Amino acid sequence: MPTGARAALVVALIYLFLVGVSSLEAGIKIMGADTQERLFSAVSNPIAGLCVGIL
């Protein structure tokens, strides 16, 4: 694979990742502040937060 194509692929994948994170953030904001607080307080343990994030 040419270097230019590989670089373009990396940039596109990073862009898609950032769009996904942004849409996830927007979805949490839509749920409301109360739901947001309960979600983040329930996963105060970083390992539990990772497991919830994977699911």
Domain boundaries, the chain: 3-54
Write out the chain's pLDDT in tens, 55 residues.
899 999 999 999 999 999 998 998 888 788 777 777 777 777 777 787 777 677 6
Cα–Cα dist 13/20, whole Å: 11
pLDDT reported for residue 9: 97
Query: Residue 12: CB partners within 8 Å, gap ≥ 6?
Result: none
Ramachandran angles phi, psi of 11, nearest 5°:
-65, -40
Ramachandran angles phi, psi of 35, nearest 5°:
-65, -40
pTM of the predicted model, to two decimals?
0.58
pLDDT reported for residue 55: 64
pLDDT reported for residue 26: 85
